[in-house]
Amino acid sequence: MVAYTVNPAAVGTALVTGAGTITSISVAALPVITDPTTPVTLVDAATAAVAGGLGQGSPRTIYSLYPANLVFLEEPRPNVPLTPGITAPTFPKSVANLSTAFSNGIFVKSCPAGLTLTVNA
């Protein structure tokens, strides 16, 4: 298993080429998302031409998540007031435990500013 970093700088690149399986995705720190409308999207492709749907149709999305779905990272607790003594959330946190196979590679199609994930494959 190898850990790959997904962040805005990785958009438009292949993290890995060839077949494999994503086993987990985690976040190392509470993200400060500045663009909540852009999802992080990983597709089964090895090149930008395929990821863009050029020549071979649209590639299969293997993982997609909108930043709003990461609210659980703050560990909200219903009916518990935030009083002194409450322990802050600890990191890293698992975002997904998976067994998602890919055949061509992991291509980062999009990632919102402020978000960094680790993909284990």
50-65 pLDDT, tens digit each: 656 555 567 889 999 9
The phi, psi pair for 82, rounded to 5°, reads -85, 90
Tokens 């998976």 correspond to 98
Q: Which of 15-24, 80-89, 95-104 has the lowest mean pLDDT?
A: 80-89
Alpha carbon distance 36, 91 (integer Å): 21
- pLDDT of 68 reads 83
72 contacts: CB under 8 Å, gap ≥ 6: none
Number of domains in the chain: 1
Res. 79: pLDDT tops 90: no
In this structure, are residues 17 and 104 in contact, taking their beta carbons and an 8 Å threshold?
yes
**Owning domain of residue 32:** 3-76+84-120
Q: 16 pLDDT band (50/70/90 cuts)?
A: very high
Tens of pLDDT, residue by residue over 93-114, are 899 999 999 999 999 999 999 8
